Structure 1
Amino acid sequence: MRTGTPPQVSSVLISTASNQPWYNPNSYLRLYLIQNNVTEQGIFALSIETNLNYSGNGLYGYDTVALSYLGSSVPSLDHQVVAGIATEDFYMGKHMLIWTFKVSSFNNPVQSYMAALKSQNLIPSLSYGYTAGNQYRFNKVLGSLTLGGYDAALIEPNELTIPLNSAGISDLQINIDTISLSSDNGTEKLSSSSFPAYIDSSVPYLYLPTTVCEKFEVAFGIVYDNVTELYLVNDTLHSQLLEQAANVTFKVTNVTGELFVDIVLPYEAFDLSVKYPLVSNATGSSRYFPLKRSQNSEQNTLGRAFLQEA
C-alpha cells in the first residue's frame, strides 16, 4: 500500500473484517487530522477483533492511498481515511475490504477506499475475490485480490451460497458441520456437532471450541504453551507430523444445512512460523500450529490458515 506524498510503501495484510487502511507510519510522515473529531489528537480505537480480545488505537487522518504490486498500481485516491498504528496486537498494517464505515460522533458514513473506487467508476462493483495463497503446494501459490469482481480461475464450482449477516461481528459467517482427520492411521472426527464460525483474514488462527481443540491436541500431539499462548512445535514433533501426512477436512454449509462443501487442509497448512513480538527471540522464529481455544461462540473464527485452501 502506498500512502502519503511522497508515497510511503508498506506491506499490508488483506482484512475481510476491517473497514479502513492501517499502516505503520515512518516518523517523518505527517497525518492530516480529521476535522471535528472527538479528540484533538485524532486518536481512535481500532475497534476490530474485539470479540477476540484484541485492542489498540490508531492515529487517524486523511491521506492519499493506493495499492501496488510488482510495479502495477490501482489509481491513487486522495482524502482517504487512514490510521497509523503502533500496537503489538496488530503488528502489520491492513487493507480493508468492507465498503463503508462511521467514525464515532459522525452522523454520516465516511466513504471507504472500496466505495470511492466504485463511485469514481474505477471498479464495476463492491464485490471482491480473495485467496490467501500458500507456500507449500503447487510450487507456491501467491495470494490474490480482485476488486470489483473475482478471478474465475480460482473458483471450484459448487452450489453453496452463504447469506451475509449484517447484524453480526463480521458479515462472513458459515456453519461448520464436521471436522475430520484422515491419515495412514485411518479417519477420525475432530468435532461431534455443528457450529457457526466467522471467516476473517485479519488473523492467522483457527479459533475453535475447546472440545474441538482438545481433539486436535490428541490427534497431532500438540501442547499449548501458556507463555506465548500458542501451540509451539519442536523439531521432533514437526518431523513426526510431516511423516503422518494427515489431512483435515472442514465440511462447511449454510444455516439450512442442505448443501455441503469440503475444504481439505493438508498438515502443511498448519505448519507455520511465528516471530517477534509473539515469541521473545527477536531475530529467529519458531514453528507453531495455528489453533486457538474459543472462549465463547462469538470467538469461533477461521483465519488465514483456512483461506490457504478455501
Structure 2
Amino acid sequence: MKDFMDFSGALDGEDPTISQGADSFTTGTDYNGDGIMDGEAVYEDLNGDGVFDTITASVDTNGDGIVDFVSVYQDTNGDGFTDYSATLMDVDTNGDGIADSVFFGEDANGDTVFETTQIMDAEEWAMFTGSPDSGYVPVDEGGGFDAGYEQFNPAETDMSQVVGTPVADEQCWDYQGENGPCAIYAQVMAYEGMTGQDIDPQQMIDVATEQGWYDDGTSMEDMDKILNYLGAETEKSFGGDMEDLHNCLENGGRIVVAVDGNEIWYGNTETYAPNDPNHAVEVIGIDYSSPEPMVIINDSGTMDGHAITVPASQFMDAWEDSGYYYVEAYA
C-alpha cells in the first residue's frame, strides 16, 4: 500500500516526516524543474495524531509572483490514501491572455475524478468565498468559511450525552453547489434521514419550482412543502428554543431551521451584515458532553458540511435572526 504522501501525487517524491509535537511542515518546491522555487507544499496534521493528513500545494505557474494554482489533498479516515481532493486554478475565459475567472474542481470520494466543477468570475468567486476581497483560501476550510468549523466525532464524545442520530444522518448530507436552494436540500436530507429513502434533490427543485415553492429562494412559509410532498408530517413555528430541538430529536423527528448563514459560517455578528435569515440547515443532533452544548447540523451550503458542530450560543445567535423559526418533521 502506498502511503498518503506518495498517493497524493503532489509531492514529487518528497517524503517529509512529522517531528514529535509538530502539526505542520512547509517546503519550497520547484514544480516545473527550472531550478527556481515556484510554489510551496504545506503538510498538516489536522487531527493531531502525529501523521500528516492534509497537503496544500500552491503554485505560481506563470512566474509572475502570484499564486494561480492550489490543490488540496486529504486523508480523512487515516487509511493512508487520499479520499478528498480539490483544485483551484486561474483561467482565461476570453483568450486575452489575462486570467479573469477561477476554476474549482472537487473530488469528494478519492476516485481521482472531479464530481463537482465550476468556473467563477470575480463576482461569483466573491460570493463563493463570502468576501469581496478574498484571494485564494485553503479549500479544506470550506472555500472561505470559518476554519473553526469542526465535524462531530463519535469517538471523541460520550454518546450517551448526544440526542439525535448524527452519525447516521450525516450520511444523508449533500452539497448544494454554488447557489443551490438550501431549504430544499435541508428538507431532502431530513426526509432521507427519517426514511432511509434516496431522494434526488434536482427532482425536488423541479417540483418546488413548478408548484411555486421556489423562485430563486424559498420563503420560510414554504420550508416544509417538499417534506409534505414526500409524505412527511410537519409542524412549523417561530419562537423555538433548545428544548424544542431536543424534544423533536428525542422523539425521532428531524428539524429544518432558518438562520443567518454568516453567523454560522463566520461566527462574527458584526462584520457580515445585515443580520437576516438567509440560509436553512438541518439540525441532526445536540452534544451535551462539553461544558457548552454543541448543535450538530447538516449544512448543504458549505463543502464537507456534514455533521458540523456549532456552539449553542453561536447557533442561537444565527437562529435568532429568523425569530427562531423551525420546521419539525416526522415520517
> TM-score w.r.t. structure 2 length?
0.28
Looking at secondary structure, tell me which structure has more strand per residue.
1
More helix by percentage: 2
Q: Which has the higher contact order (CA 8 A, sep 6+)?
A: 1
TM-score, normalisation: structure 1: 0.30
